[in-house]
């Protein structure tokens, strides 16, 4: 598709000359001779570039420039100015113009400037598109956060993303979504247009991991046939995400600590310090306090990393998120697997909320994929769920003895409500103690109190 260029100049011969040259070069050209005509054309035609005279009969080209910058597309603007108005052109560049050309001008210079400006516009549009896709996929707004615990995480992520924080530590069990939070921090942050480099620290042996992170010089080891920049250097201005940071070797821990403190490093085999400005996000499912106490993780690195910690709670502690997450996964797998599952039947819902989800959100996603694939109806039924969920394997609490199902059957929700009432009364309304009696946590108790409308439950004093 031909690029569309708007030529704005009050001199008809200037417009004609530019039009002839630009059309021969393959561009589609529109003309305007005043501020009003230019602004109307920008709205109607959406040009890819504007060639704009500084002095117009009904005002200044700056008015047109400001109008262009208020549009969603923001096409590049090249100012056309007489020698006496160069100061105005410089002012226009400060306000956002791409470049300026002085009258009288050579057509070849105009074409070269137009080519560069259009390429810049294309790159800007591509960056904007990538950010839009990144936000669509990884924005913290897309995070399911019905539970109070997860809402706290989302609020914290928003504040950190907008800050100047350069080192962030994400903690949480395997499968809770640490990688998604890391990407949300990047795409919601100020360096969203810069690279996001992700490496899993357990994916490579120590020697290769060091080279992958810091790069190497030619000849530094047998296969180093040329200089290679590492992920940290390639991410300059952006974000490096170090997943499973708790598993790196003590030697590499020391080099990483030096980098975090000095913002510089040396490539493997190098003698010169390389300085970069990156945001480092580290994540681990390990208890780093225990790792420090055992001597497997450096104490000084631990404290350097945990300046701003984000702890993502396991799924069993945010029961209110289970069904909304499942609904999102159903929509996704309906498209991927060409199915039309509309929801989850109540019995299956109860089992899912009672299950402890040791594999967290990752396990839930896998369970929903399986259930959508196997389901032959409009809803996911109990028999569509994995056996461990149907049998309650992994559910918190100990064994239950001497409970017999009455001959006429029973409504399971009535039993759940009655046990909740008994636990709350025995604990005299203390939700933490009631949670322990039922093998739950406060979030699970809070969810069920709301579910069964027990907020005003009277508590016996005796």
* Lowest-confidence region among 17-21, 63-67, 222-226: 222-226
In a domain, 228, yes or no: yes
Of all residues in the chain, what percent carry a pLDDT higher than 90? 52
- pLDDT over 60 at 310, yes or no: yes
Q: What is the mean pLDDT of residues 323-349?
A: 94
Q: What is the mean pLDDT of residues 112-138?
A: 75
Q: What is the pLDDT of residue 401?
A: 45
Q: What is the mean pLDDT of residues 33-50?
A: 91
Tokens representing residue 259 in the block: 């980098």
Query: 36 and 147, same structural domain?
Result: no
User: Residue 455: pLDDT band by 50, 70, 90 thresholds?
Assistant: confident
Q: What is the pLDDT of residue 321?
A: 95
- pLDDT over 80 at 108, yes or no: yes
Query: 424 and 381, same structural domain?
Result: no
User: Which of 294, 313, 332 is at the close of a domain?
Assistant: 313
User: Which of 345, 369, 391 is at the close of a domain?
Assistant: 391
Nearest-angstrom CA–CA distance, 199 and 15? 54
Q: Are 242 and 282 in contact (CB under 8 A)?
A: yes
* Lowest-confidence region among 58-67, 164-173, 217-226, 372-381: 217-226
Query: 105 and 156, same structural domain?
Result: no
Q: What are the tens digits of pLDDT across the range 252-273?
A: 999 999 999 999 999 988 889 9
Read off the CATH number of the domain in which 411 is found: 1.10.10.60
In a domain, 250, yes or no: yes
Nearest-angstrom CA–CA distance, 232 and 241? 10
**Greater model confidence, 366 or 433:** 366
In a domain, 11, yes or no: yes
Query: 341 and 308, same structural domain?
Result: no
Tokens representing residue 75 in the block: 């096409």
Tell me the pLDDT of the chain averaged across its residues: 87
Nearest-angstrom CA–CA distance, 43 and 24? 25
Q: What are the tens digits of pLDDT across the range 423-451?
A: 888 787 888 888 888 878 777 888 888 88
Task: Tell me the CA distances in angstroms from 186 to 67, 159, 166, 328, one per residue in order.
Answer: 31, 12, 11, 23
What residues make up the domain containing 278?
139-313
Q: What is the pLDDT of residue 135?
A: 59
Q: What is the pLDDT of residue 461?
A: 41
Task: Tell me the CA distances in angstroms from 241 to 128, 214, 349, one per residue in order.
Answer: 22, 14, 35
- pLDDT over 80 at 134, yes or no: no
Strands 59-60 vs 28-32: parallel, antiparallel or unpaired:
unpaired
Read off the CATH number of the domain in which 275 is found: 3.40.50.300
Q: What are the tens digits of pLDDT across the range 379-426?
A: 999 999 998 888 765 544 444 444 566 777 778 888 888 888 888 887
In a domain, 396, yes or no: no
**SS3 state of residue 408:** coil
User: Residue 337: pLDDT band by 50, 70, 90 thresholds?
Assistant: very high
DSSP H helices in 53-106: 61-69, 86-95
- pLDDT over 70 at 213, yes or no: yes
Q: What is the pLDDT of residue 70?
A: 84
Q: What is the pLDDT of residue 195?
A: 85
The contacts of residue 58 (CB under 8 Å, 6+ apart) are 34, 35, 36
Query: 55 and 83, same structural domain?
Result: yes
| Beta-bridge mates of residue 275 | 264
- Whether omega for the bond prior to residue 185 falls within 30 degrees of 0, making it cis, is no
Read off the CATH number of the domain in which 11 is found: 3.40.50.2300
User: Which of 391, 423, 451 is at the close of a domain?
Assistant: 391
In a domain, 398, yes or no: no
In a domain, 164, yes or no: yes
| Number of folded domains that form the chain | 4
Q: What is the pLDDT of residue 131?
A: 60
User: Residue 2: pLDDT band by 50, 70, 90 thresholds?
Assistant: confident
Query: 323 and 292, same structural domain?
Result: no
In a domain, 397, yes or no: no
Query: 414 and 355, same structural domain?
Result: no
Q: Are 76 and 49 in contact (CB under 8 A)?
A: yes
In a domain, 399, yes or no: no
Strands 279-284 vs 167-171: parallel, antiparallel or unpaired:
parallel
């Amino acid at each position: 598709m031909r690029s569309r260029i708007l030529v704005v100049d009050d001199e008809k011969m200037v417009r004609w000359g530019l039009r002839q040259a630009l059309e021969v070069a393959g561009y589609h050209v529109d003309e305007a001779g005043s501020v009003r005509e230019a602004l109307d054309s920008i709205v109607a035609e959406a040009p890819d570039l504007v060639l704009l005279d500084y002095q117009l009969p009904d005002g200044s080209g700056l008015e047109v420039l400001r109008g262009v910058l208020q549009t969603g597309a923001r096409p590049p603007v090249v100012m056309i100015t007489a020698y006496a108005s160069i100061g105005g052109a410089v002012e226009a560049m400060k306000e956002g113009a791409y470049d300026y050309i002085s009258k009288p001008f050579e057509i070849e210079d105009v074409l070269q400037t137009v080519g560069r400006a259009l390429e810049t516009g294309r790159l800007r549009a591509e960056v904007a598109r990538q950010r839009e896709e990144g936000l669509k996929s990884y924005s913290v707004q897309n995070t399911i956060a019905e539970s109070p615990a997860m809402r706290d995480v989302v609020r914290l992520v928003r504040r950190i993303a907008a800050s100047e924080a350069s080192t962030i530590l994400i903690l949480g069990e395997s499968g809770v979504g640490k990688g998604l939070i890391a990407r949300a921090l990047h795409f919601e942050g100020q360096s969203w247009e810069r690279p996001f480099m992700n490496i899993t620290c357990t994916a490579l042996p120590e020697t290769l991991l060091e080279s992958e992170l810091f790069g190497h010089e030619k000849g530094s080891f047998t296969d180093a046939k040329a200089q290679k920049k590492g992920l940290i250097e390639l991410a300059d201005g952006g974000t490096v995400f170090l997943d499973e940071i708790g598993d790196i070797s003590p030697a590499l821990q020391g080099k990483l600590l030096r980098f975090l403190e000095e913002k510089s490093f040396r490539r493997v085999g190098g003698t010169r310090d390389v300085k970069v400005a990156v945001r480092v996000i580290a994540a681990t499912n390990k208890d780093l306090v225990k790792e420090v106490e055992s001597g497997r993780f450096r104490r000084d690195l631990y404290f350097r990393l945990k300046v701003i910690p984000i702890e993502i709670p396991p799924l069993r502690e945010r029961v209110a998120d289970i069904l909304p997450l499942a609904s999102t996964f159903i929509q996704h797998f309906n498209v991927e697997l060409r199915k039309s599952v509309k929801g989850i039947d109540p019995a299956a819902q109860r089992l899912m909320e009672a299950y402890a989800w040791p594999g967290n959100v990752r396990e839930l996603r896998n369970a929903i994929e399986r259930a959508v694939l196997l389901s032959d109806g409009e809803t996911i039924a109990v028999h569509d769920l994995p056996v461990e969920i149907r049998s309650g394997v992994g559910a918190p609490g100990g064994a239950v003895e001497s409970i017999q199902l009455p001959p006429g059957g029973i409504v399971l929700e009535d039993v759940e409500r009655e046990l909740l009432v008994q636990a709350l009364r025995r604990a005299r309304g203390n939700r933490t103690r009631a949670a322990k009696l039922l093998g739950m946590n406060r979030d699970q108790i809070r969810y069920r109190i709301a579910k069964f409308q027990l907020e005003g439950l009277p508590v016996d004093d005796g």
